[in-house]
Structure 1
Amino acid sequence: MWDPGGAHKTQNKVYITLRFLRMEQTFFSLPMAYLGAFLAVRGIPSIRVLLLIFTALFFIRIAGMTNDNLADRFIDARNPRTMTRPLVTGAITVQDAYLFIIIGLIGYFVSAFFINIIAFTLSPLGALIIMTYPYMKRHTALANYQIASIQGLSVMAGAIAASGIHGPLYIIYRIPWFFVFATIFWAIGFDLYNHIPDIDYDKTHNLHSFAVLLGGKSLAFAGLNQVLSVSLAVGADIFYKLYLISYISTALHGLIMLIAFILARKQDYGRAFHYNIYASVVLALGIIIDAALGFPKF
C-alpha cells in the first residue's frame, strides 16, 4: 500500500504540499542535469547556469507533478493505494492545482529564457513531453518510456544550459549521449517499481504500462533495463575518458540499483523506488568531480 504522494488531511499544510509535489523526487533529475552540464564544458559551469538549471527543474517539477495528480485524481480516488493523495482528499483543491501549474510553467519558461536562447527555444518541447505523460498511459505502455525520457532529457538540458552559447552542432557534440540513454534505461527500471503494485487495478481500469503488459515478468524487465543502464554508464566512462572516481561512482550506482531490485523482489517497492535517488546522486557526483578536476579528455 506504499504511495509516495499520500498524506493525511489533518497533517501540516506545508508537509501535505511537499507530498503532493513529491519534491524529493527532484533528486532523480537534478543530479543528472548537473552531470550533463559539467561534462559538456569539461569543467565547472558558472554559478548562474547552475542556479538556473535548478530553478528550471524545480518549477517544471511543480507543473508536471501537479498536472499528473490533476489528470489522475478520479483514478486515484478509486485506487486503495492512492486514496490519501491530497487532491483526492481535498487537502489540495483543484483551484490550488491550476495555480501550481501556472506558477510552475511561468517559472520554468523564465528560467529557460535566462539560461540561453537555445534552451528557451527548446523549452516548449520539454514542457510538452512532461505535461502529456499522464494522458499517454491511457493509450500505450510506451508511456513508461516517455516518463523515462524526461529523466534523459535532464542530462541533455544540463548540457544545453552549460554550452548553449555555442552553435547547434557544437552543442550536439557536447551532449553526453551515452549518459542520456543510460539515464533513460535506469528510469524505466525504477518507474516500474511504482507500477507493479497497481497491475490488477490498472488492468481493471484499462490503464497501460509495461507492468500490465508483462505481468509477472515486469520485474525482470525492470532489471534488464537497469543492467543496460549500468552497461551504458560504464561505456560512457570509457568513451569520455573519465577517471577512477567515475568508475567507482558507476560501480556504486549499479550496486545501489541491485539492492533496490532485491528490495523490489521482496515487494518492498517503496524503499526500492527511493533507493534510486541515492543511485542518481552517487553516479552524478563521481562524474561531476572528474569533470571539475578536468579529467575528461574527449
Structure 2
Amino acid sequence: MSTVDPNLDRVSDAPSDNFVYRALPRWIWPYAQLARWDRPIGWELLMWPCFWSSALAANVLAAEGRLSVPLFAFHLVLFFVGSVAMRGAGCTYNDLVDHEIDDQVARTRSRPLPSGRVTRRDAKIFMLLQALVGLAVLLCFNGFSIVLGILSLAIVAIYPFAKRFTDWPQFFLGLAFSWGGLMGWAGLHGTLSLSAVLLYCGAVAWTIGYDTIYAHQDKEDDALVGVRSTARLFGDDTKIWLAGLYGLTLILLLASFISAGVAFPAILALLVAAGLFAWQIRVLDIDDGAQCLSLFKSNGRIGLILFVGLVVSLPFA
C-alpha cells in the first residue's frame, strides 16, 4: 500500500518549475509525468542518436551532391516528434510494468501510478495514444525504415523486465535508446551501412555509461527490492567501467565518422565530448544522488555538441 498522499501533484525526481506546471492544466499533469514531459533529458537522449545518424548520412549525400536539405530538415522534425512520443509511450509502459516496484522505491513512489493519481486503465489508453503518434511519424519514412522501426519494438518490450533477470538492464536500454543511430541513416539512404552500425554500437556504449550514473541514485532501494543494475554490479569500480564504456563510445564514433568521410569539425566535436566524459568520471561521487542526476543530464550537452559538429561538417555548411 502506497504511503504517499494521493493529492500530491508533483513527483520527487522532477523539477517543480518545469513548463508542465506553468503552462498545462492541472488535470494533465499526471499524464505529463507518465510521459516524462517534465524531464526532457530522456527524449533528448533518445533523439540525439537519430540526429547524429541523419546528419552523418547527410554528410555522405552532400559530398555526392545528392542531399535534399528540405528532406533532411523534415526528418529532424520527425525524429523530434517521434522521440517525445515514443519516449513517453515507453515510460508509460515501464511504469505499468514497474507499478509495484515503484511503490517501494523512495524516488519513484510519488509517480502517478503508485500514488494513485492515474489508473492503470487510463495509463494504458494514454500509452496507446502516444504510440499512435509514433506510428504516424514512422509511416512518413521509407519502407525500409518502417520495417526497421517496427523491429525495435521487440527490444522496447523486453527492457522493463531486464532488471529482473540480468545485471545489465542498461545494455537493453542502450539497444532500445540507440536505435535511432540506425534510423537516421536508413531514413535518407533506404539501407544501412557500416558507418551507421558503428554509430549505433557507440551510442549503446554511451547509454550504458550515462544510465549507470543515473542508476546510482537508486542502488540502495534497488538492493532492498531485488532490482538489478550496472550501478550495483560495478559498485566502487564504476569509474573504471565508465572509462572503458566512454572510451569505447569515442572509438566507435570515430570509426563511424572516418568510415563516412566526414570533415574535421565532427572529429573536433568528438574531442570536446572526450573532455566532458573525462570530467564526468573525475568528479563523479556515486554516493551523491543529486550529483549523479546532474552528471547524467550533462550528457544532453554532449549529444548536442556531436550533432553540431556533424552539421558544421556538411560540405556546404
TM above 0.5, one fold? yes
Determine if the alignment matches structure 1 residue 26 to structure 2 residue 38. Answer: no
Structure 1 stretch displaced more, 99-108 or 85-94: 85-94
- Give the whole-Å Cα distance in 1 for the aligned partners of 2:315 and 2:89: 32
Specify whether residues 292 and 101 from structure 1 end up closer, same or farther in structure 2 by C-alpha distance, changes over 3 A only.
farther
- 1:46-195 aligned at under 5 Å gives the runs 46=71, 47-164=73-190, 171-173=191-193, 175-195=195-215
1:247 corresponds to which residue?
A: 267
2:313 corresponds to which residue?
A: 290
The alpha carbon displacement at 1:157 in A equals 1.0
- Give the whole-Å Cα distance in 2 for the aligned partners of 1:134 and 1:216: 25
Secondary structure of 2:284's partner? helix
Gapped regions of structure 2 (runs ≥ 5):
1-10, 63-68
Which has the larger helix fraction? Answer: 1
- Give the whole-Å Cα distance in 2 for the aligned partners of 1:89 and 1:66: 14
- Give the whole-Å Cα distance in 1 for the aligned partners of 2:265 and 2:13: 32
- 1:246-285 aligned at under 5 Å gives the runs 246-265=266-285, 267=288, 268-285=291-308
Per-residue CA shift, 1:35-57, capped at 9, x if unaligned? 21122242346043333333332
Q: Is the 8 A contact 2:195 2:259 kept in 1?
A: no
- Give the whole-Å Cα distance in 2 for the aligned partners of 1:288 and 1:53: 16
Q: Is the 8 A contact 1:7 1:19 kept in 2?
A: no
- Give the whole-Å Cα distance in 2 for the aligned partners of 1:221 and 1:29: 22
- Give the whole-Å Cα distance in 1 for the aligned partners of 2:258 and 2:53: 16
Q: Is the 8 A contact 2:195 2:256 kept in 1?
A: no
Pairwise CA RMSD: 2.6
Q: Is the 8 A contact 2:195 2:255 kept in 1?
A: no
The alpha carbon displacement at 1:119 in A equals 1.9
Q: Please, which of 249, 256, 260 is the counterpart of residue 236 of structure 1? A: 256
Structure 1 counterpart of 2:316, one-letter code:
L
Secondary structure of 1:78's partner? coil
Q: Is the 8 A contact 2:44 2:83 kept in 1?
A: no
**Equivalent residue pairs, number:** 285
Structure 1 stretch displaced more, 276-285 or 27-36: 27-36
Gapped regions of structure 1 (runs ≥ 5):
165-170
The alpha carbon displacement at 1:292 in A equals 5.8
Q: How many percent of aligned residue pairs carry the same amino acid?
A: 19
Per-residue CA shift, 1:179-214, capped at 9, x if unaligned? 212111111110001212322322232222222223
Specify whether residues 16 and 223 from structure 1 end up closer, same or farther in structure 2 by C-alpha distance, changes over 3 A only.
farther
Structure 1 counterpart of 2:312, one-letter code:
I
Secondary structure of 2:261's partner? coil
Q: Please, which of 39, 53, 57 is the counterpart of residue 40 of structure 1? A: 57
The alpha carbon displacement at 1:146 in A equals 0.8
Secondary structure of 2:218's partner? helix
